[in-house]
């Protein structure tokens, strides 16, 4: 203590000794987008090496699915990537439907697309809100969540829950849209384009935002594909990979929309791509609303597959329709037995394996489902985009400044629930 | 705004509490009340959002369900500056020691709200990976069930905690 | 390429190729795995440059017991292939493909974490999702689900896998 400043630590050759500092960032940290831990080795402010450590939210979803019925698997899988629950459910249900060789009715497919796109916008709004807040633009946090509330109102009206809905089920969706939902969506469609313009006017040419994002976290297309990165991070490098266009599912080939790509492969390009994706999703939602004018069934007819109950919005929320309850309790013993069997034992899925990819807001979300012919899944593996995209963090962060690490992680938009499952 | 009073929920003072106050002297109870009021009015939560409940917690702090009405808009990142820990989300086995360490780093007086069924009792995940209730690790003051609880439910939990702090805190 | 065309091309190298539900699945021996992957990646008509997922399934009553499956995707041609490698109980290890596909790093760590399958040549094979000092490999069918008994109305209800 109290050494002369000139008497520095010198090593054997007389040079000032360089030491790197190892800093632990997280898992409890306001800016790491959830419980992500980064082990950073710093030389001053420059990151020499970065090791992401995950697993702080490991929930054992995959093992738990093996002990529940196929239909209960939806409720487990929906909580993996909790910011895009509809995409998890959709991938799982599509995989199971492929194993069973059935297809959901057209109106159910339109509803699936509708809710997936609304979920995409909701997820991008959370990304915008949290990224903005982490980089200092605190007002964006409030704006993002304000718009998200409009979407969550529609979700609550249609599914009963604001998050983790269990709405998309094997064979279709569980309930048709209640009255008032289409009006809610239409009013959202009127309001949202103006709001996106608001975000752009606040951020896109803001010198601080550009300074913090442009040229930061560059990930070339080659590196991205080698590291398995998909989603906006890959599209920012110029590769137009979008599962909705390349391997369409649930009728996506019949909708008109564009895939947003960028050139610069940096955080700013990813920001612009996500704003553009929100706009494209608004277009798809409009097309969905057009197609929803014709009524139709929302669940397959086959009684061995369909969820037996008819749900209805009652005075205390969504529940079994009173007419249906009367039917099974008073009119028909067979219906009661059938309802009981379907709810407790569930469907039986022929054996085989299937990998179903879906375009979630973060990238390619894949569900690898293996069945051995029983009424329980044998193996459910969630190929989550956050899990894979986080492997690219060292590549993008090393050599840059510490503060850029936050911008990089924010631009990748990882959700730790999906990464850890 | 009409507020529904629940039966059995005591918001004011019971007869026992009044007696206790008289026994302890008027000056101390006034200080007690003042301190209790001050503590509940400006509670600063520590950010401990883990999973889906964290998003609902953020929504509670956002514009529609404004938490700053009760002095809580400032989520402190450092546990040393916080007095409330809202455990929002499922606690995995790997996260449990971290949770305990954050709790230990908070200075007294401190309170814990366990938000969501995963934090309260393990939720739907009765398996090897999730701690079956954070009350096995830290003492919990208020449990808020739900998967995830709506922001209004979390607000009710926070108001319950504030009542608890206001009426049961003792200043020594 | 459509699945049947792809299967015809792949069948030359891998005779055990099956097309089911619109997907092509091939079985490969573990000693041929790296050579086959490199060929499939470098062939310009097949061009599997994106490894989507590496995972494993435990079939305790089959032999071999563990089946490691690789999901391959071609960004250019938009087709997919699943490669499966069977690994026995006695020596559960597979060559690591991280040299060809760096993305396999964390996938293989997860398979090791959940099943105990070793990957030869992996740069840093250790647990990823579970704590470092965890014992056991939970996704094996012989391992329990875990969890505690729940007390309900005076009775103790065991976790799901122990309920009769």
What class is the C3-136 domain?
A: alpha beta
The mean pLDDT value for A210-219 works out to 89
Contacts of A7 (CB under 8 A, 6+ apart): none
The full set of domain ranges for chain B reads 15-167
Render A81-147 in DSSP notation, one character per residue.
STT-HHHHHHHHHHHHHHHHT----HHHHHHHHHHHHHHHHHHHHHHHHHHHHHTT-HHHHHHHHHH
Give residue-wise pLDDT tens across range C100-114.
Answer: 999 999 999 999 999
Give residue-wise pLDDT tens across range A221-252.
Answer: 999 999 999 999 999 999 999 999 998 998 99
CB-CB under 8 Å, A141 with B62? yes
Taking any CB pair shorter than 8 Å as contact, residues of chain A touching chain C are: 54-55, 58, 60, 62-64, 67-68, 98-99, 101, 225-230, 239, 241, 246-247, 352-355, 357, 364, 366, 368, 370, 378-379, 381, 383, 387-388, 390-391, 420-421
**By 3-state DSSP, what share of chain B in percent is helix, strand and coil, each rounded to 5?**
45, 10, 45
Give residue-wise pLDDT tens across range A313-334.
Answer: 777 778 888 888 888 888 888 8
HSE-CB for B68 with a 13 A CA cutoff: 7
pTM of the model: 0.90
Q: What pLDDT does residue B83 have?
A: 87
Q: What is the DSSP letter of C161?
A: G
In angstroms, the CA B59 to CA B115 distance is: 14
Residues in chain A: 421
A346-377 exposure pattern, b = at least 16 Cβ within 10 A, e = fewer: bbebeebbbbbbbbbbbbbbbbbbbbbeebbb
What domains can be seen in chain A, in order of their start residue? 61-300+349-387+400-420 (1.10.645.10), 306-346 (no CATH)
- What is the distance between the terminal CA atoms of chain C, rounded to a whole angstrom? 49
Q: What pLDDT does residue A17 have?
A: 58
The mean pLDDT value for A167-191 works out to 90
The full set of domain ranges for chain C reads 3-136
The minimal CB distance from A227 to the residues C20, C21, C103 is found for: C103
Which residues of B fall within a CB distance of 8 Å from A164?
A: 52, 147-148
In angstroms, the CA C88 to CA C83 distance is: 17
Q: What pLDDT does residue A117 have?
A: 94
Give residue-wise pLDDT tens across range A25-64.
Answer: 878 777 667 888 888 888 888 888 888 999 999 998 999 9
In angstroms, the CA B144 to CA B113 distance is: 7
3-state secondary structure of B134: helix
Tell me the ipTM for this assembly.
0.91
A13–chain B nearest CA distance, Å: 42
Chains that touch B (3 or more CB pairs under 8 A): A, C
Position with higher pLDDT, A298 vs B74: A298
Residue of C nearest to A387 (CA): C106
The listed CATH number (3.40.190.10, 3.30.300.10, 3.40.50.12280, 3.30.1050.10) that belongs to domain B15-167: 3.40.50.12280
Residue of B nearest to C131 (CA): B94
Interface residue B93 vs chain C (CB under 8 A): yes
The mean pLDDT value for A292-302 works out to 88
Interface residue B9 vs chain C (CB under 8 A): no
Give residue-wise pLDDT tens across range A386-397.
Answer: 999 999 999 999
CB-CB under 8 Å, C131 with A228? no
Residue of A nearest to C78 (CA): A246
Distances (CA, A) of A163 to A62, A71, A316, B52, B92: 20, 18, 19, 8, 21
Residue of A nearest to B146 (CA): A161
Q: What pLDDT does residue B1 have?
A: 41
Give residue-wise pLDDT tens across range A102-156.
Answer: 999 999 999 999 999 999 999 999 999 999 988 888 889 889 999 999 999 999 9
Q: What pLDDT does residue C152 have?
A: 74
In angstroms, the CA A265 to CA A204 distance is: 16
Low-confidence ranges of chain B (pLDDT < 70): 1-13, 18, 21-29, 169-172
Q: What pLDDT does residue A28 have?
A: 73
Q: CB burial class (10 A; 0-12, 13-18, 19+) of residue A91? A: buried
CB atoms within 10 A of CB A149: 17
In angstroms, the CA A138 to CA B116 distance is: 27
């Amino acid at each position: 203590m109290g050494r002369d400043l000139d008497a520095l630590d010198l090593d054997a050759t007389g040079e000032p000794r360089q030491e790197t500092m190892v800093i632990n960032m997280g898992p409890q940290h306001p800016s790491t987008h959830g419980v992500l831990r980064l082990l950073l080795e710093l030389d001053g402010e420059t990151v020499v090496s970065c090791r992401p450590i995950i697993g702080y939210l490991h929930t054992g979803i995959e093992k738990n699915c093996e002990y529940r019925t196929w239909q209960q698997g939806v409720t487990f899988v929906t909580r993996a990537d909790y910011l895009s629950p509809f995409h998890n459910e959709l991938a799982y249900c599509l995989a199971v439907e492929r194993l069973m060789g059935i297809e959901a009715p057209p109106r159910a497919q339109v509803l699936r697309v509708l809710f997936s796109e609304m979920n995409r916008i909701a997820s991008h709004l959370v990304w915008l809100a949290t990224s903005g807040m982490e980089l200092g633009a605190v007002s964006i946090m409030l704006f993002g969540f304000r718009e998200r509330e409009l979407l969550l109102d529609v979700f609550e009206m249609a599914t009963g829950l604001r998050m983790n809905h269990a709405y998309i089920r094997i064979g279709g969706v569980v309930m048709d849209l209640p009255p008032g939902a289409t009006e809610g969506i239409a009013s959202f469609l009127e309001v949202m384009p103006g709001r996106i313009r608001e975000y752009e006017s606040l951020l896109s040419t803001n010198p601080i935002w550009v300074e913090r994002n442009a040229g930061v976290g560059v990930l070339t297309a080659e590196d991205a594909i080698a590291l398995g990165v998909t989603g906006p991070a890959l599209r920012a490098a110029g590769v137009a990979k979008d599962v909705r266009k390349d391997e369409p599912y649930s009728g996506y080939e019949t909708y008109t929309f564009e895939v947003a790509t960028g050139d610069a492969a940096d955080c700013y390009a990813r920001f612009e791509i996500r704003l553009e994706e929100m706009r494209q999703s608004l277009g798809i939602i409009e097309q969905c609303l057009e197609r929803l004018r014709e009524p139709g069934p929302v669940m397959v007819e086959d009684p061995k597959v369909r969820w037996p109950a008819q749900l209805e919005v009652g005075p205390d929320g969504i529940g079994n329709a009173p007419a249906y309850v009367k039917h099974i309790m008073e009119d028909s013993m067979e219906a009661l037995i059938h309802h009981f069997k379907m709810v407790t034992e569930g469907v039986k899925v022929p054996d085989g394996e299937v990998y179903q990819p879906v375009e979630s807001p973060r990238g390619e979300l894949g569900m690898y489902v293996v069945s051995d012919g029983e009424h329980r899944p044998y193996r459910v593996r969630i190929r989550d985009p956050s899990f894979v995209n986080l492997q690219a963090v060292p590549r993008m962060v090393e050599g840059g400044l510490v503060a850029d690490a936050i911008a990089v992680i924010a631009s990748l938009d990882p959700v730790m629930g999906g990464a850890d499952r | 705004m009409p507020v529904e009073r629940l039966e059995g929920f005591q918001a004011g003072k019971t007869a026992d509490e009044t007696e206790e106050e008289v026994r302890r002297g008027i000056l101390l109870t006034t200080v007690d009340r003042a301190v209790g009021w001050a503590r509940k009015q400006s509670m600063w939560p520590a950010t401990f959002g883990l999973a889906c409940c964290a998003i609902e917690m953020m929504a509670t702090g956002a514009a529609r369900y404004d938490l700053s009405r009760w002095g809580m808009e400032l989520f402190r990142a450092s546990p040393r500056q916080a007095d409330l820990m809202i455990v929002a989300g499922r606690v995995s086995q790997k996260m449990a020691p971290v949770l305990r360490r954050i709790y230990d780093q908070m200075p007294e007086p401190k309170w814990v709200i366990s938000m969501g069924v995963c934090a309260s009792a393990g939720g739907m995940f009765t398996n090897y990976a999730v701690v079956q209730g954070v009350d096995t690790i830290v003492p919990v003051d208020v449990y808020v069930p739900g998967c995830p609880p709506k922001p209004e439910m979390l607000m009710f939990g926070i108001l319950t905690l504030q009542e608890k702090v206001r009426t049961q805190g003792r200043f020594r | 390429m459509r699945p049947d065309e792809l299967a015809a091309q792949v069948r030359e190298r891998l005779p055990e190729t099956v097309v089911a539900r619109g997907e092509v699945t091939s079985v490969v021996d573990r000693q041929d795995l790296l050579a086959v992957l490199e060929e499939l990646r470098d062939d310009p008509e097949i061009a599997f440059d994106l490894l989507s997922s590496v995972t494993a399934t435990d079939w305790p009553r089959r032999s071999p017991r563990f089946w490691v499956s690789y999901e391959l995707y071609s960004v250019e041609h938009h087709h997919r292939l699943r490669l499966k490698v069977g690994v026995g109980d006695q020596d559960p290890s597979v060559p690591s493909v991280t040299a060809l596909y760096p993305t396999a790093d964390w996938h293989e760590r997860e398979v090791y974490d959940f099943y105990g399958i070793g990957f030869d040549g992996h740069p840093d094979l250790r647990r990823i999702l579970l704590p470092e000092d965890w014992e056991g490999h939970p996704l094996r069918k012989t391992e329990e689900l875990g969890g505690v008994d729940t007390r309900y109305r005076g009775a103790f209800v065991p976790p799901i896998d122990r309920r009769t």
